[in-house]
Structure 1
Amino acid sequence: MRVSHIAGGVLLAAAAGAAGFAVLAWQPEIEPVEPPARAAFDQAEIAEGAKLAALGNCLQCHTAPGGKPFAGGYPLETPFGTIHGTNITPDPETGIGTWSAEAFRRAMAEGVGRSGEHLYPGFPYDHFTRVTDRDNRALYAYLMTREPVRAEAPPNRLPLPLTFRPLLAGWKLLFLEAGEYRPDPERSDEWNRGAYLAEGLAHCGACHTPRNALGAREAGREFAGGFSEGWYAPALDRDSAAPVPWTRDALFDYLRTGVSEDHAVASGPMAPVVRNLSDVPDADIRAIATYVADRMGAPDGPAPAPPAPPPPAPVARAGGEERGQEQGRAAAIYAGACATCHEPGGPLQFQAPVALDRATSLAQPNPSNAIRAILHGVETPDAAAQPLMPGFANALTDAQVAELTAWLRTRFSGGPAWDDLEAEVAEARSGRSAE
């Protein structure tokens, strides 16, 4: 009798828990509307929405390669599978044409679609929840006045049980802190504007923060460095590994132009971010730079003196121990493929904008960015221009790229050796995530 009572209690508790979860997971549908006419929106609000969409990098994640703007289909690779950006043009059948302003606000603030479905956090509503209602209305006005495009996004490629969207209600219960950004009264207006943008619409921490096993940002480690599509997004806090400390002016230059001479050229997922920011006023870029510089403990005033230039590249050695042979081979590859641009006084008139002894990619705790730059090259901030650096994926083997990467790390950064470089190169070449 006691066993049956216990079993009945367990079943009752399980049923109550399932019912409670169902109540938590259920979200109502918001009634569809007729697509509003362009004349329904104020021109100034549309213009403000355009600026906000550029800050949010909306175009990149909601446009397939070679596709129509905002028509969806961009494949976002995550550790759990591939999530495709949705169509956010005002097409009534495949886009958001039947979404009201309230449906749009709910998606941004709560991660719930118009039909009541929970959205995957590949759409960073854990940041967008900080956006004000006013800015959401401006974004809505801008998107609803774009060209409608009929385009179905490809289905997401996720394993079971992740295709069961009600589970996302549990994820939100654990990790979503909903609510608009609240200004810090002890800080300046510029700092608060930068914090609002960086933590909200610009969602800097979505890439620059490490993730836990469930894909949520690790608590207490905001801006401590993370991964995005196989690239390492470096730490934007006091643990930054940059050989030359960042300043507010250096951060502004990098976000404005894609280049900081003492640090890096915007590459990988950061390149389209900078291209989109070209449509954003200087004041907002300066505000983000002010906020991030403060988090990094950046010094006031001009940048510190850069480190002394490295000695000339060593001559490759023939014979010797295995380690010496590897270094000799790598030095020979560098002399033939890299020194023409990366050594002072090289034979080419063009010189790389960032000296390798200052390159953030070679000072990072992992080799992801250095390897991807060698394999795939580096584009200019202007995507229509010629590449800033060609890729060597077709010229060098995995072993050669690994040896060159190890040699560059030793010569230009002096940091501890990176492990398993050949495996890292194979992952980068295949396009698999290094996360």
Structure 2
Amino acid sequence: MRSRWRTVMWLAACLVVLAGVAWWFARPRPIDALASVPVVSPQSEPARRGAVLAAAGDCMVCHTARNGSPYAGGRPLATPFGAIESTNITPDPDTGIGRWSAEAFARAMRRGISRDGHHLYPAFPYPHFTKLSDADIAALYAFLMSRRPAVAPPPRNHLAFPFDHRPLVAFWNLLFLHEGPQPPDPARPADWNRGRYLVDALGHCGACHTPMNRLGAEQPSHAFRGGLIDGWDAPALNALNSGGSGAPRWTASELADYLHDGFSSAHGAAAGPMRPVTDSLRQVPRAEVEAIAAYLLSLGPGPAAPPSPAPGPRSLAPNPLFEGACASCHAAGSPMQIAGARPPLSNATSLHAGSPRNAVRMILDGNGWDGSHGAYYMPGFANLLTDEQIAQLARYVHDRHGSGQSWPDLDAAYVARLRKETAP
């Protein structure tokens, strides 16, 4: 028995050594740093085209810290394994990508490998960017090199062991990275193929709207069935035209309005993590956004939902909290309903969802006003109402204007948990 155990241990040791040797020879090699930072005019055609692509890809959203310099990084990205800090992608030679060649940039976009050879964490969505065309990667490189350099070393990541060891990402890539451009579907029209490219490659919509497995990779068999991001539910994108949940169906023009302008008179305003996305898409030509809408609506209804239980007891009597805090904007015939073109609450997707999460988040956080449209704005009540009051208010609004079963789990403890999720 002892000799058999010794043999097993020797075989295991040999396998470890062989794996180490294989990793040593297969590990990514550094790409030489440039001697000087490339000079690219912001007015050059590649840089101008890259600016539109960067907006469609929401690059600045993740690579800009709160009150920080654009593209200088430093924004913490929450993951199930800890917080990953976004990096500086300005052309600063020491703390940014100023000494990166076009080849090094393309490798990072396609394979998730930094110029010096270390693996990037897939919070940077290179599994999507690998589908980009060579021309678009070159345009993005030109745009970033045309930005103003910012000296901003990235803060340290806060990842639990063993996820703080970057070499492990190589094994993640073996399982989940499928390198290479996405060929067009010849059976589909040009706008559909363009929309799929913008959604699947550049926009990386699945990174938020597709559920993840335990290793933090998207589940292809559940593509666009919804996810969780920054404390908000990212709704399913494969049922926008089904109306099955009781929410109004989306038309192509309504969805394009929402994505391009952040507001649809039939559905309401973008909020939470979706608000910065629509802010970026305002810089993208309307035709591109219409292609995105066409593709998303073609995904069709998702899997049939199980029959909803009979609605529980509903609170339809007038509610003092609603009358005092909400009615001036949301009651029928209120000034904001008339002058602000604010859609009725019955059109709000969050009130037809199976979970109260987004409705509660909206009451807690509100929706900031950037001066472009009064119907966007809603003050947050996190510091004005107690957990119990917010639970009562959300339950009342859902029962009066939503559909489906009442939210039985919505209570003060539920609201308290949501507060803690995004507490600074």
TM-score normalised according to structure 1 size: 0.87
* 1:280-329 superposed Cα distances (whole Å, 9 cap, x missing partner): 1111111111101111359xxxxxxxxxxxxxxxxxxxxxxxx99x9589
Counterpart residue identity of residue 432, structure 1? T
Mean Cα displacement is larger for which, 90-99 or 264-273? 264-273
- 1:105 shift after superposition: 0.5
Counterpart residue identity of residue 342, structure 1? H
Counterpart residue identity of residue 425, structure 1? V
Task: Tell me, yes or no, if the aligned pair for 1:275 and 1:381 is still in contact at 8 Å.
Answer: no
Task: Tell me, yes or no, if the aligned pair for 1:29 and 1:114 is still in contact at 8 Å.
Answer: yes
Matching of residues 332-347 of structure 1 within 5 Å: 332-346=320-334
Mean Cα displacement is larger for which, 95-104 or 379-388? 379-388
* Aligned twin of 2:309: none
- 1:88 shift after superposition: 0.4
* Aligned twin of 2:249: 245
Counterpart residue identity of residue 236, structure 2? A
CA, structure 1 residues 5+157, in 2 after alignment: closer, same or farther (shift >3 Å)? closer
Are residues 1:388 and 2:377 paired? yes
Task: Tell me, yes or no, if the aligned pair for 2:332 and 2:344 is still in contact at 8 Å.
Answer: no
* Aligned twin of 2:14: 12
CA, structure 1 residues 132+207, in 2 after alignment: closer, same or farther (shift >3 Å)? same
Q: Secondary structure at the match of 1:232?
A: strand
Distance 1:273 1:263 in 2: 17
- The size of the alignment, in residue pairs, is 407
Counterpart residue identity of residue 415, structure 2? V
Task: Tell me, yes or no, if the aligned pair for 1:275 and 1:382 is still in contact at 8 Å.
Answer: no
Task: Tell me, yes or no, if the aligned pair for 2:363 and 2:381 is still in contact at 8 Å.
Answer: yes
* Aligned twin of 2:308: none
Matching of residues 22-421 of structure 1 within 5 Å: 22-24=24-26, 26-39=27-40, 43-238=44-239, 241=245, 243-296=247-300, 327=315, 331-346=319-334, 350-351=339-340, 353-380=342-369, 388-418=377-407, 419-421=409-411
Q: Secondary structure at the match of 1:214?
A: coil
Mean Cα displacement is larger for which, 417-426 or 128-137? 417-426
* 1:242-267 superposed Cα distances (whole Å, 9 cap, x missing partner): 61111211111101111122223111
* 1:199-255 superposed Cα distances (whole Å, 9 cap, x missing partner): 011111111111111111112111111111111111010376461111211111101
* Aligned twin of 2:305: none
CA, structure 1 residues 2+104, in 2 after alignment: closer, same or farther (shift >3 Å)? same
Distance 2:132 2:381 in 1: 42
- 1:384 shift after superposition: 10
Distance 2:288 2:381 in 1: 37
Distance 2:153 2:96 in 1: 8
Counterpart residue identity of residue 373, structure 1? M
* Aligned twin of 2:419: 429
How many percent identity over aligned positions?
Answer: 44
- 1:16 shift after superposition: 2.6
Structure 1 regions of 5+ residues with no counterpart? 299-322
CA, structure 1 residues 179+84, in 2 after alignment: closer, same or farther (shift >3 Å)? same
Q: Secondary structure at the match of 1:76?
A: strand
Mean Cα displacement is larger for which, 32-41 or 2-11? 32-41
Distance 2:148 2:82 in 1: 30
Task: Tell me, yes or no, if the aligned pair for 1:330 and 1:404 is still in contact at 8 Å.
Answer: no
- 1:68 shift after superposition: 0.9
Task: Tell me, yes or no, if the aligned pair for 2:315 and 2:399 is still in contact at 8 Å.
Answer: no
CA, structure 1 residues 383+103, in 2 after alignment: closer, same or farther (shift >3 Å)? farther
Task: Tell me, yes or no, if the aligned pair for 1:236 and 1:292 is still in contact at 8 Å.
Answer: yes
Counterpart residue identity of residue 328, structure 2? T
- 1:369 shift after superposition: 1.4
Mean Cα displacement is larger for which, 214-223 or 339-348? 339-348
- 1:430 shift after superposition: 2.8
* 1:169-204 superposed Cα distances (whole Å, 9 cap, x missing partner): 111111111111110000011110110010011111
CA, structure 1 residues 417+140, in 2 after alignment: closer, same or farther (shift >3 Å)? same
CA, structure 1 residues 3+122, in 2 after alignment: closer, same or farther (shift >3 Å)? closer
CA, structure 1 residues 374+185, in 2 after alignment: closer, same or farther (shift >3 Å)? same
CA, structure 1 residues 212+67, in 2 after alignment: closer, same or farther (shift >3 Å)? same
Mean Cα displacement is larger for which, 333-342 or 347-356? 347-356
